[in-house]
Structure 1
Amino acid sequence: MDLNTVTDVVRRPSDRPGADWRPGDAWLAGGTWLFSVEQPDLRRLVDLTALGWESLVPGEAGLGIGATCAIRELYGHELPEEWSAGSLFRPSCEAFLSSFKVWSAATVGGNICLSLPAGPMITLTVALEARYELWAPDGSVRTVDALDFVTGDHRNILQPGEILRRIDIPAHALRKRAAHRRFSLTRLGRSTVFLIGTRTPGASDLLLTVTAGTTRPVRLAFDALPDARTLWRRIDALPAGLWFADPNGTPDHRRHLTHHFAEEIRRELMAGGPA
């Protein structure tokens, strides 16, 4: 879509572009959402891809992902064998409501900052206990837990001019066993629910992440693997207003699916194989 209110595009921003932020600006990375709908308040686009942020940086501490990393790059990246939770990367990319052709433009950071309930990069990074590095216009940097970033449907904690610079996934989370379940009304449709469970090798813990069915990500932590009744009660205790409603599912439908898939994940991780 043409953005006919935009009068300027900054192709070569400074290394800390937030200092030049002004009302009417928008950060441009992949632009797959930005150019899909009218943006009447925009006057200027600032192209972050020109900054050359490294896309994927594996190390002993874990995996760093530049916010401008394209989904195609994440999908095709070969992870160390000991990072068993890396098996989540491809199904998370495949959960996008888009064709594979869009993956060359769409970015990890863009999907997170859009902050839709069904954002699969939100699901992935919350489930893997990631932290986000945010750059403020005054040059300061803050780091937040991925769980705390999205606050509701299309809402997050970013302040005007603030940039998501980097996503850091810790090595201990990447070494966990993982299981996921996702439901959509059509094979390539938007997620109605998307759940990921992880368990530390040699331990009996469970970390269950619930997204798409809720307006913001939910992380249920158990020091010991719960029985079916305990898990059911924790899900049922979630506030009624937290469940999301749109044409892809009612709150009751999403709660029902969450109960069903959470139990499948619990059994799979308890047994050490598919349920």
Structure 2
Amino acid sequence: MDLDIDTVRVARTRADCVLRPGEAFLGGGTYLYSEPVPPGVTGLVDLTGMGWEPWSVDGAGLRVAGTCTLEELVSGPGSLGADTGGPYRALGLVAPCVSALTLSAKVARMATIGGNLALGLPAGSMVGLFAALSARAIVWTPDGGSRELAVSDLVTGVGVVDLAPGEVLREVRVPARMLGQRAVFRRASLTPAGRTAAMVTGRTGDRAPRIIVTASVTTPHGLYVRDHDMLDRWIDWIGREGAWYEDTHGSREWRAAMTRRLAHEAFDELSGA
């Protein structure tokens, strides 16, 4: 499409990331270029010029830059998780979570992790991926500082995230102790290639399996689950809170039913039932 803006700046230093009036950040641009220009936006600041290393693994865990593309995530950390019994087996979640976005190869080469998280859409499966791994989001603030928060707390509503104007999602960090845990993925859609309508991710935990629900809800929900009764009570509570999401890709009632089934399957797998 013809993106009607006046300026594009390529950020190469932290100082370049300070927005001027009318500017917004640009990552891969796959969503931005598919929608009308947001009201008031007259210029873009391209973060890909920062040259951040897409991802790295060390003794502290996994670090994924906000500008890491989905393709880089799959070919990098995703490949580490190919050994289901190895030290990075939790990263076996990467490939199915990226596939849940039903992307074209062209979009996967450009779309970024930070962009998917910052959109805050229910079907944005990077939230389900990193929330299951208890990841933390590192956010640059406009005053030159930084803050961090749990990825599970980043999305606060449909298309609403805990990012103030001018803040940049710099990277996501997964603690080392999470990488070797067993992980699980379940997904439901109305059609084989349709948008994800219910997604359940999870991992083994120190106390009990950790189950994360996304796509079928307006915000991510997570719980350490001890048994099936506890899981059912939790799903019922989500309904009482009015958190089920509805659009053309699925009704609230169907999404609730699919989430319950997928969550029980995920718990059984993680608990060895």
**Considering the TM-score relative to the shorter chain, is it more than 0.5?**
yes
Identity %: 38
Q: Corresponding residue for 2:272?
A: 271
Computed over aligned residues only, the root mean square deviation of the Cα atoms, in angstroms, reads 1.5
Q: Please give the alpha-carbon distance, in whole angstroms, between the structure 2 residues aligned to 1:75 and 1:37.
A: 26
Residue type at the aligned position of 2:169: L
Q: Which stretch shows the higher mean deviation, 79-88 or 247-256?
A: 79-88
Offset of 1:109 from its aligned partner? 0.6
1:127 maps to a residue whose letter is A
Residue in 2 aligned with 1:221?
Answer: 224
Give the drift of 1:262. 0.9
Encode CA deviations 1:226-269: one digit per residue, 9 max, x unaligned. 1x222111111124421101011111111111111111111112
| Distance change >3 Å, CA 23–CA 73, structure 1 → 2 | same
Aligned to 2:211: 208
**Alignment partner, residue 186 of structure 1:** 191
Contact 1:98 1:188 in 2 (8 A): no
Residue 65 of structure 1 aligns with which residue? Answer: 64
Aligned counterpart, 1:43: 42
Measure how far apart 1:29 and its partner are: 1.2
Match of 2:20 in 1: 22
Residue of structure 1 in register with 2:182 after alignment: 177
Match of 2:156 in 1: 151
State whether residues 22 and 161 of structure 1, in contact with CA within 8 Å, keep that contact through their aligned partners in structure 2: no
Aligned length: 265
What's the counterpart of residue 112 of structure 2? 107
Show the counterpart of 1:242.
Answer: 243
Specify the code of the residue in structure 2 equivalent to 1:33: Y
Give the CA deviation at 1:171: 1.4
Cα distance in 2 for partners of 1:38, 1:249 equals 25
List 4+ stretches of structure 1 deviating above 2 A. 11-19
SS at match of 2:186: strand
Query: 1:13, CA displacement in angstroms?
Result: 4.3
What TM-score, normalized by structure 2, do the two folds share?
A: 0.93
- Bigger drift between 203-212 and 122-131 goes to 203-212
Deviation at 1:18?
Answer: 3.4
Deviation at 1:83, TM superposition (A): 1.3
Conserved 8 A contact 1:243-1:251: yes
Whole-Å separation in 1 of the counterparts to 2:65 and 2:254: 36
Unaligned 5+ runs, structure 2: none
- SS state at 2:242 partner: helix
Alignment CA distance shift 1:195-1:205 (3 Å): same
Q: CA deviation at 1:103?
A: 0.6
SS of structure 1 residue aligned to 2:264: helix
TM-superposed deviation, 1:183:
0.6
Question: Could you tell me whether the CA contact under 8 Å between 2:17 and 2:45 is conserved in 1?
Answer: no
Name the SS of the counterpart of 1:258 in structure 2: helix
* 1:134–1:162 contact (8 Å) kept in structure 2: yes
1:55 & 1:70 partners in 2: Cα distance?
Answer: 8
Structure 1's 144 and 16: CA in aligned 2 closer, same or farther, altered over 3 A?
A: farther
Match of 1:74 in 2: 73
Query: With structure 1 as the length reference, what TM-score do the two structures score?
Result: 0.92
SS at match of 2:52: coil
Letter of the aligned partner of 1:36 in structure 2? S
Letter in 1 for 2:69: A
Work out whether 1:165 is the aligned partner of 2:170.
Answer: yes
Deviation at 1:16, TM superposition (A): 3.5
The letter for the 1-side match of 2:24 is A
User: What secondary structure is seen at the aligned counterpart in 1 of 2:2?
Assistant: coil
3-state DSSP of counterpart to 2:34: coil
Greater Cα offset, 236-245 or 122-131: 236-245
